[in-house]
Amino acid sequence: LWLWGTSRTPLSSASAGGPGGGHFLHKGLPPGPRGLPFLGNLLDLGQDHLPSHLTRLARRYGPVYTLTCGSSTLVVLNSSDVIKEALVRKWSDFAGRPISYTGSLVSGGGRSISLGDYSEEWRVQRRLVHQTLQRYSHSSLQALVRRQALALREVLIGYNGRAVDLAEDFTVAASNVITTLTFEKEYGKESEELQQLHSCLNNIVSLWGSPWISALDSFPLLRKLPNRPFSRLLKEVARRDDIIGRHIKEYKLRDNQSEDSITSSLLKGIEQSIGSEDGVRLTDTHLHMATVDLLIGGTETTAAWLSWTLAFLLHRPQVQTQVYEEMCGVLEGRYPQYSDRPRLPVLGAVISEVLRLRPVAPLAVPHRALRDSSIAGYFIPKDTVIIPNLFGAHHDPSVWSEPNSFRPERFLEGGGGRARDLLAFGGGARLCLGETVARTELFLFTAYLLRDFLFLPGGEGAGLPDLEGEASVVLKVKSYKVIAVPRPLETDLAVGPPNQQSGDTAL
């Protein structure tokens, strides 16, 4: 069950009909599966792998359908056409976030970028962070990611060919990119400070996806009953605020603050907004919550994507060889730079295909209709919650041939895959704020890893990773082990991974 927030959409009496035998909820709203009295479609929304379940419902009810849950009305979008119509073409109608009781408690009263509703204050906060990220991307981002990629290389060499789960190492690498961006701090894997920060942020994300907490938004009466997961969530939020508050305080006291860090840029923005006449006044809470946004949005996502990439490459080792050979041919022994992308199309195709098959934020973040509007000709009343099912759009058989197979070649010339139908970062006013950072990381981390190591399934008789994964707010691969064999420095193209499996991997 996801956090939908509360929609105030009026529900009129239901009447049977609509494609796939769905029922109509509100004059003009898209039809959808019939729900239970009072509970609505709670059972659908409580499914284990929700993105897959919503995708299956789309086969029956079409690319746009309605679900209800308590007092919430949700419209689920399942194709790239309808998602682009709502998020990009009609962005100003659908740029809101659900008004949510629990969301407000975890986001400093809605002052975070990801959960804050669309407002002038939100726009200024988002613009400041975006501008700083763009400036940083032009100046220091590559060097920062390269440093982390080389640190990761040392960690992998230290494993000495042992079978290991790399998920935590990927988290440390991605997290160091963000902590450097925000308050110029890097950590080792053993750092207690880092462990505390991560356990706290991870707990918040997993509790946030828990049905016991989502239910508080859809069924307000439940707020009066004791709720242990909710009490834990509030405790973790207090711990998070304490840790981040301490970091910001330390940063403010430092003499040598970089002009480019998000914190110094936001501090300047706050100062300026205090004297400005446009009525927008940013506060320390905006700075605090923007830091939380970047840490939560920028760590587990990138780390999960790296784990997915290795998992798929273990299933199709010949693709790993192709990427390696391509780099050997183009780079002549040097490490890649971001500007090498056009000359490394196979690597680019792998990145796109993993983003397609496993968009790590599979249902994006719920949107809210700011006014009455329409999608695909259906009437969408103000305050309806909109769920962009990116996972569903990326598995749409009318757009992607063999949608369940890992086939990077579809993104090579003549392969038929259209990058414009990829929506892993969302779109419009709520487009992922860290897309540039993420794309630099995906490219450089993957290129460095595949240039320096041959990855093999972990240990004698080890099976290949499970590719279904576990879907919560972030879509993660189940834990698996891998062996990283260092490549010879002088590239030997004759040596590639053993051909364990040929042909496409049907997932």
Interacting span for ligand HEM (CB under 6 A) from 217-225, 260-268, 295-303, 342-350:
295-303
| Residue 425 touches ligand HEM, criterion: CB under 6 A | yes
Among the listed residues 82, 106, 233, 433, the single contact to ligand HEM using CB under 6 A:
433
132 binds ligand HEM (CB under 6 A): no
Instruction: Out of 244, 310, 432, 477, point to the residue binding ligand HEM (CB under 6 A).
Output: 432
Q: Which stretch binds ligand HEM (CB under 6 A): 53-61, 134-142, 202-210, 361-369?
A: 361-369
The residue from 364, 375, 454, 473 that contacts ligand HEM (CB under 6 A) is 364
Selected from 57, 74, 76, 113, the binder of ligand HEM by CB under 6 A is 113
Cα–Cα distances (Å) from 184 to 52, 136, 247, 456, 461, in that order, read: 39, 12, 10, 35, 43
Question: Based on CB atoms, which residue is closest to ligand HEM, 294 or 310?
Answer: 294
CB nearer ligand HEM, residue 118 or residue 230: 118
d(CA 355, CA 24): 34
Q: Cα 342 to chain center, whole Å?
A: 25
When the beta carbons of 137 and 210 are compared against ligand HEM, the nearer one is 137
Q: How far is the CB of 424 from ligand HEM (least distance, A)?
A: 4
- Interface with ligand HEM (CB under 6 A), residue from 110, 381, 434, 465: 434
What is the C-alpha separation between 368 and 365, in angstroms, rounded?
10
Range in contact with ligand HEM (rule: CB under 6 A) among 277-285, 358-366, 393-401, 496-504 = 358-366
Residue from 69, 393, 424, 483 in contact with ligand HEM (CB under 6 A): 424
CA atoms of 315 and 76, how far apart (whole Å): 32
Using CB under 6 A as the binding rule, whether residue 437 contacts ligand HEM is answered as yes
Among 117, 261, 134, residue whose Cα is nearest residue 185: 261
In angstroms, what is the minimal distance from the CB of 458 to ligand HEM? Answer: 24
Asked if 110 touches ligand HEM (CB under 6 A), the answer is no
Please give the structure tokens belonging to residue 389.
């099912």
Picking from 82, 64, 83, the residue whose alpha carbon sits closest to that of residue 74 is 64
Per CB under 6 A, 365 contacts ligand HEM: yes
**In whole angstroms, how close is the CB of 444 to ligand HEM at the nearest point?**
13
Distances (CA, A) of 34 to 38, 42, 50, 58, 386: 12, 11, 17, 14, 18
Q: Which of 141, 248, 350, 360 binds ligand HEM (CB under 6 A)?
A: 360
End-to-end CA distance of the chain: 24
CA distance 201 to 295: 8
User: CB of residue 425 vs ligand HEM: minimum separation in angstroms?
Assistant: 5
> Contacting ligand HEM (CB under 6 A), which of 301, 321, 440, 446?
301
CA distance 361 to 430: 13
323 closest CA partner among 413, 437, 448, 441: 448
* 328 annotated to a ligand binding site: no
Query: Phi and psi (nearest 5°) for 274?
Result: -65, -35
Strand partners for 430: none
Residue 361 binding ligand HEM, by CB under 6 A:
yes
User: Is the dihedral angle over the CA atoms 76, 79, 80, 85 positive or is it negative?
Assistant: negative
Is the separation of the CB atoms in 484 and 312 below 8 Å?
Answer: no
Output DSSP code: residue 36: B
- What residues contact residue 181 under an 8 Å CB cut-off, 6+ apart? 133, 136, 144, 261, 262, 294, 437
Contact present, 9 and 73 (Cβ < 8 Å): yes
Phi-psi region of 140 (alpha: psi -120 to 50; beta: other; left: phi over 0): alpha
- Decide: is 430 part of the binding site for ligand HEM (CB under 6 A): yes
DSSP strand pairing (378-380 vs 373-375): antiparallel
Which C-beta is closer to ligand HEM: that of 178 or that of 314? 178
Q: Which lies closer to ligand HEM via its Cβ, residue 104 or residue 321?
A: 104
Contact window for ligand HEM (CB under 6 A) among 51-59, 137-145, 254-262, 301-309: 301-309
Q: Smallest distance, Å, CB 428 to ligand HEM?
A: 7
Q: Which of 58, 74, 438, 447 binds ligand HEM (CB under 6 A)?
A: 438
Contact pick of 107, 114, 352, 389 for ligand HEM (by CB under 6 A):
114
Nearest position to ligand HEM, beta carbon: 434
**Helix 284-315, helix 192-208: angle, nearest 10:** 90
CB of 217 to ligand HEM, least distance (A): 17
Query: How many residues form the binding site for ligand HEM (CB under 6 A)?
Result: 27
Q: How far is CA 407 from the centre of its chain?
A: 22
Residues within the annotated binding site? 432
Residues in the annotated binding site for heme? 432
- List of residues contacting ligand HEM (CB under 6 A): 87, 113-114, 126, 178, 293-294, 297-298, 301-302, 305, 359-361, 364-365, 388, 424-426, 430, 432-434, 437-438
